[in-house]
Amino acid sequence: MKTKSKRIKKYFILIITILSIYLTYNYLERKNIEITDKDIVDLVINNSFKEENIVKRIINQNTVNPIKLLNKSYESVVENESHNEPIIYIYNSHPTEEYQSTTLGEYSINPTVIMNNYILEDIFNKRGYQTYVEENSVKDILDKNNWNYASSYRASRELLESAKINNPSLKYFIDIHRDSLSKEKTSISIDGKDYAKIIFLLGLENPNYKENNEFIEKINNKVNNYYPGLSKGIYKKEGPGVNGVYNEDFSNRLILVEIGGHENTTSEVLNTAIAFSKCYLEVLDEENS
């Protein structure tokens, strides 16, 4: 009898918790308070509900939203002792790039590329690679200098330089974007799981691009070794009308990666962020062993 009573109490607390999350989003949406990518990822990372059937009863399974990802566990991530100083820096030269809108009930959430930052940060930190996610806005720098959108890499360069000055320990840099192609060109199913494809962008007008290319190739090869077809490879750009550098001259360990496209779902992007992190960490392990 006591066991049954405890079980009922446990389910009751669980239901109240989930309903609280739902009502919080309801309130935020009605009050026009911004729901950020970090909020979404916090829900994914920090909740560990085990009673999946209870969740299913409360949340419509046809609704794609962050709550459906609450039971997601990261693959092959073992917590290690973290470095005291950050060595990985994650930022977005185009932080407003959005994925497919998702919903919590009828309330819209618009996830952007920034959600990847916090997913990777959590995984990297658990593996002992202290990570610094940029919180300052590229848009603020553009506005302050009266620069247009085409100057985004110029603006993110300021963030890079400031981050390095304030954190001399930084060694690895990741600029995360998303593609603008249609979903059939940015999606793939591997072993029954849906992913958002990735592609690496390499500027050939960086005089030291070969070093960047060598590092990117290591990651790209691991991605397609573990997840065949997930990476579309390395897109090399130079010539009139393109940037040609993409700040990759800042460090031979700076990469620009596009994760998915504007039609990819939150769950597809999450699956890919986890897959990418696994491959990226293997390369770092090899370099730091």
Where residue 112 sits, what CATH number does that domain have?
A: 3.40.630.40
- Give mean pLDDT, residues 126-131: 93
With CA atoms as reference, report the closest residue to 91 among 148, 151, 153. 153
**pTM across the whole model:** 0.75
DSSP 8-state symbol, 248: G
Count of helix runs (H) and strand runs (E) in the chain: 9, 10
The pLDDT score that the predictor gives to residue 90 is 97
- Work out how many domains the chain is built from and give that number: 1
pLDDT of 235: 95
Domain for residue 18, yes or no? no
pLDDT reading at 148 higher than 80: yes
Output the CA–CA distances (angstroms, integers) from residue 60 to 35, 45, 71, 132, 157, in the order listed: 21, 21, 16, 36, 43
- CA nearest 11: which of 49, 45, 39, 47? 49
- For residue 55, is it within any domain? no
The reply to whether 52 falls in a domain is no
pLDDT, position 11:
58
Q: Which of 243, 255, 241 is nearest to 154 (CA)?
A: 243
**99 lies in some domain:** yes
Residue 86 covered by a domain: yes
What pLDDT, on a 0 to 100 scale, did the predictor assign at position 52? 36
Of residues 266 and 55, more confidence is placed in 266
Task: Return d(Cα 175, Cα 163) in angstroms, integer.
Answer: 13
CA distances from 13 to 7, 43, 49, 60 (A): 10, 17, 11, 20
Task: Please state whether 194 falls in left (phi above 0), alpha (psi between -120 and 50) or beta.
Answer: beta
Of the chain, the percentage scoring pLDDT greater than 70 comes to: 69
- How high is the pLDDT of residue 5? 62
Looking at every residue in the chain, the average pLDDT score rounds to 79
- Quick check: is 100 in a domain? yes
The reply to whether 54 falls in a domain is no
- Domain range for 179 is 75-288
Q: Is residue 50 part of a domain?
A: no
In whole angstroms, what is the distance from residue 85 CA to residue 87 CA? 6
* Reported confidence tier of residue 102, pLDDT bands at 50, 70, 90: low
